[in-house]
Amino acid sequence: MATRHPLACTLVLAMAVMLHASAQPSPGYYPSSMVRPMAFSEGYDNLWGPQHQTLSQDHKALTLWMDRSSGSGFKSKRSYRNGYFGASIKVQPGYTAGVNTAFYLSNNELYPGNHDEIDMELLGTVPGEPYTLQTNVYVRGTGDGARLVGREMRFHLWFDPAADYHHYAILWNPDEIVFLVDDVPVRRYARTAAGAAFPDREMWAYGSIWDASGWATDGGRYKADYRYQPFVARFQGFKVAGCEAAAPASCRPVPASPAGAGLSAQQRGAMRWAQQRSMVYYYCQDQSKDRTLYPEC
């Protein structure tokens, strides 16, 4: 019988440990499984660019595209004061610099110039470089004027978002916002006693594809190149649950963890893994920021 060399066994074990360390961990709690998927028309309407979107025959999948003439967007039928908002998204490979595929909450139409917003944006790239997932929180107009107060956290994800569908979700409760990718919490933004701004007015859910050439890819260095048009984004697995704006006070938010509020130890471990492995920017670590605007940091 053949014998294994001790060095070979050591290398195999080391490789196994590395693979385990790089594998996506289980968060132990899956809020997406608690919310049934809906047909697009059950929860959403076209907002703009209707000629740049198509709906599947079963009304469960929506394709948006952007070309030189326009992008496209949709909006939830109802507004909410809290909730879980998710969609499975697949973006386009290749040259996509300047293209922003967004899934977000906002009340900008109700409060123009003084609005709240919670963003998940897949920012396009150039061949050989990864997509960037940008998460952001704006509160009461702090993203509208010259004094931009964004709270960005960006990631180069542990998978290729152009290769397959992945589920992106925002869980917004009265005390916290949790950004989730395939149920893994990648970021938690909490309401704190430190005076951090927190969105607490009703919002709608939106999705869109649009030209953000001025900033989206390497700070605007690379622009949308319409020789590669159309730029396509695919949405399916629409999930919405929570308290509509007109819901009674007895309506309970979707829990962020098995305990209800906060994250479990297993969820915190998964979030720590995602941030250590994939986070490439965090506004609280940006020394160029005016810290007086960010008491939460």
Model pLDDT for residues 3-23, shown as the tens digit of each residue: 555 554 444 444 443 434 568
As given in the structure block, the two tokens for residue 93 are 């490979």
Distance of CA 161 to the CA centre of its chain: 12
Strand partners of residue 281? 154
Residues 270/257, Cβ–Cβ less than 8 Å: no
Largest CA distance in the chain: 77
Whether 129 is catalytic: no
- Which residue is catalytic, options 42, 109, 117, 176? 117
Residues 92/162, Cβ–Cβ less than 8 Å: yes
How far is it, in rounded angstroms, from Cα 28 to Cα 17? Answer: 21
Q: 45 Cβ partners below 8 Å, 6+ apart?
A: 74, 75, 77
Q: 275 Cβ partners below 8 Å, 6+ apart?
A: 186, 187
In this predicted structure, what is the pLDDT of residue 19? 39
How far is it, in rounded angstroms, from Cα 191 to Cα 173? Answer: 10
Residue 58 one-letter amino acid:
D
C-alpha closest to that of 259 among 160, 176, 189, 135: 176
At residue 192, φ and ψ (nearest 5 deg) are -125, 165
> pTM of this prediction?
0.91
Is the pLDDT assigned to residue 201 strictly greater than 50? yes
For the chain, the average pLDDT equals: 91
In this predicted structure, what is the pLDDT of residue 141? 77
Q: What is the pLDDT of residues 214-234, one digit of tens each?
A: 999 999 999 999 999 999 999
Residues 64/265, Cβ–Cβ less than 8 Å: no
In this predicted structure, what is the pLDDT of residue 150? 86
**Range with the poorest average pLDDT among 47-51, 87-91, 94-98, 197-201:** 197-201
Which DSSP helix (H) or strand (E) runs through 37?
none
How far is it, in rounded angstroms, from Cα 235 to Cα 62? Answer: 5
Note the helical H segments in the chain.
Answer: 6-22, 40-43, 265-278
Residue 21 one-letter amino acid:
A
C-alpha closest to that of 197 among 163, 237, 238, 149: 149
What distances in angstroms separate CA 151 from CA 91, 189, 196, 224, 263, one per listed residue?
24, 10, 11, 25, 20
- Which residue is catalytic, options 42, 109, 121, 202? 121
Mean pLDDT of 139-148: 66
Whether 121 is catalytic: yes
